Structure 1
Amino acid sequence: MDMTVTGIITAIVIGAIIGILGRLVVPGKQNIPIWLTIVIGIVAALLGSFLANALGVGDTRGIDWIEIVIQVALAAAGVALVAGMYGRRGVR
C-alpha cells in the first residue's frame, strides 16, 4: 500500500467498512464509540492483509474473499475484545 493521501483515505474507508462489518458479526450491543470501531477496522484490515499474504491468499483473481473474511473475523474479535474491556471499565 502506498502512503499517499489517496492511500490513507482508502485505508480509512476500507477500515471503517471492515470495522462496521466486524461489529455486525458480534452478537449483542457493543458500547464503544464509532471512531473506535473504525480504528479497530483499520487495524484489522492491515493485519488481515498481512496474514492473507503470509498464507498465500492475499492476491487472487477477482475479489479476495478469503482476505475479506480474515479481515472481518479479526475486526469482530477486536470489537468483542474492546467492547468487553470498555464495558468493564465503566467508561461510557
Structure 2
Amino acid sequence: MAEDRDGPAVIVVSSKKPVMNYVTACVTAFNMGHSRLLIRARGRSISSAVDVVNLLRSGFLSGLRVERVSVGTEAAPPVSFIEIEVSKPQPR
C-alpha cells in the first residue's frame, strides 16, 4: 500500500456539482493512498458535504470513521463553514 501523504487530502464541496462527483473524488483519494480526508464546505454547500460523508459511510466505505467536525464562520463576508475529517480503516 502507498504511504500516507503529510496531512489529509482536502476535498472542497460546492453546490454546483452533483454530490456523487465528490463521493467519487473521495474514493479516488483513498485509492491513491490517502488514509485521511478533510471535506470542507461553505454556506449552502454544507448540506452537500454532510451528504458526501453519509454516502461514503453507507454505500462505499462501511468502516469509515469521522475523526473531527469543525464548524464556524469566516469573517468577511460572514459565511458559515464546516470541515469534516474522515479516515479509512487500516487493513489487517
Could you state the TM-score of these two structures normalised by the residue count of structure 1? 0.28
Q: Which has the higher helix share?
A: 1
| TM-score, with structure 2 as normaliser | 0.28
- Point out the structure with the larger strand share: 2
